Amino acid sequence: MATFGVETTTDEVLEGIDLKGRWALVTGASAGLGVETARALAAHGASLILGVRDLEKAEAAAAPVRDAATGEVELRRVDLADLASVRAFTDGVAADHDELHILIANAGVMACPEGRTADGFETQFGTNHLGHFVLVNRLVPLLVAGAPSRVVVLSSAGHRFSDVDLDDPGWEHTPYDPWRAYGRAKTANVQFAVGLDRRLRDRGVRAVAVHPGAIMTELSRHMTEDTLNALQEARGDRPMTWKPVPAGAATSVWAAAVADADEVGGRYAEDCGVAEVTTDPTSPVGVFPYAVDPAKAEALWARSEELVGERFDLS
């Protein structure tokens, strides 16, 4: 079996993999990791549904995906910061498709100024977690119909900055900090994958959270000198190592189409491998235990349903 690691690219991960006849949905597919993730899957035969916020921008960005594709490529608008948009998107996908085999929850925002989504949620938690929580859950029937299938939720090593605060998800009682807010959202991404995998593994759907690595993409558009300094301070003596985009997207496609389902299901992965759980903040790999704690995952699930006003009985 091939050995993959920090420098492995998407094409190296998918070498010899045939995805013809399989449908993959990628959110945030108008720039950076999303485009490369979609391009790599398309180049190996998958048909793509690209969930994007700006259709005009995405049409130009999708050129390499269309050039690589042998299957179909669809562009569909979805704004994860607006649950009405998310629900319209999922209704449209479900109306036009019977099955879904891969869903990569790639879109997100990072370290942005304090703000609110269309539904009044703190921007990072509302976009990165709640938007995908609704989107993925509403498409579960398609994933079950397409089983064996995978859900890949993009998290980050930034989950180390903070556990989720279910008593104050909107930062109404806590002074807002952009990196701690990012940490809460990225922890929620891992806990969502843990909860989703527990609910669906017996039905052939496995979920995994991944850290792509540090990559300079549009995700970094809100970063200032102050936020970069705060990030480095939080990292202590650990230097920031930047990956090129093809290596950054590699863990997503590895988890979606290559990794063993039982190896990655309900786990956290980085550098094309499952990361061990650690309590050591200086460790270059791994997650803090709260991120993969099943009890915390269940508490987040219940609170998320309460916040979005929608229940998802996946039993």
pLDDT digits (tens, 9 = 90+) for 55-95: 999 999 999 999 999 999 999 999 999 999 999 999 999 99
CA atoms within 13 A on the CB side of 312: 24
- Ranges of residues in the chain with a pLDDT under 50 are 220, 222, 235, 284-285
* Strand, helix or coil for residue 74: strand
Q: Residue 214: how many CB atoms within 10 A of its CB?
A: 16
The CA distance from 308 to 125, in Å, is 12
Going by C-alpha positions, the residue among 65, 26, 19, 64 that lies closest to residue 46 is: 19
The sign of the CA dihedral 31, 287, 100, 261 is: positive
* Structural domain contains residue 238: yes
Alpha helices for the chain (secondary structure H): 10-13, 32-43, 55-61, 63-68, 83-96, 123-124, 132-138, 140-145, 178-200, 225-235, 245-248, 250-257, 261-264, 294-308
> By three-state DSSP, how is residue 75 classified?
strand
CA distance linking residue 234 with residue 303, whole number of Å: 28
Does the residue 55 lie in any domain? yes
Residue 3: inside a domain, yes or no?
no
pTM over 0.85: yes
pLDDT at 85: 98
Pairing of strands 102-105, 23-27: parallel
Q: Is residue 191 a part of any domain in this protein? A: yes
Q: Do the domain assignments include residue 1? A: no
pLDDT at position 161, please?
87
The CATH number for 198's domain is 3.40.50.720
3-state secondary structure (DSSP) of residue 153: strand
Say which residues have a Cβ less than 8 Å from residue 261's Cβ, sequence separation at least 6: 148, 150, 206
The two three-digit tokens of residue 185, written as one number: 């959202």
Could you list the active site residues?
155, 182, 186
**CA 92 vs CA 65, 76, 270, 304: distances in Å:** 21, 9, 32, 23
Q: Considering its fold, how many domains does the chain have in total?
A: 1
> Is 5 part of any domain?
no
In a domain, 179, yes or no: yes
Range of the domain at 267: 10-308
**What is the per-residue pLDDT across 195-205, written as a single tens digit (0 to 9) for each?**
999 999 999 99
| 78: Cβ contacts below 8 Å, ≥ 6 apart | 27, 51, 52, 53, 85, 86, 88, 89, 135
pLDDT reported for residue 3 = 83
Q: What is the DSSP string of 160-186?
A: GG----TT-TT-SSS---HHHHHHHHH
pLDDT reported for residue 240: 55
- Asked if 84 and 73 count as a contact pair (C-beta separation under 8 A), the reply is no
Structural contact between residues 130 and 121, judged by C-beta atoms closer than 8 angstroms: yes
Report if residue 194 sits inside a domain.
yes
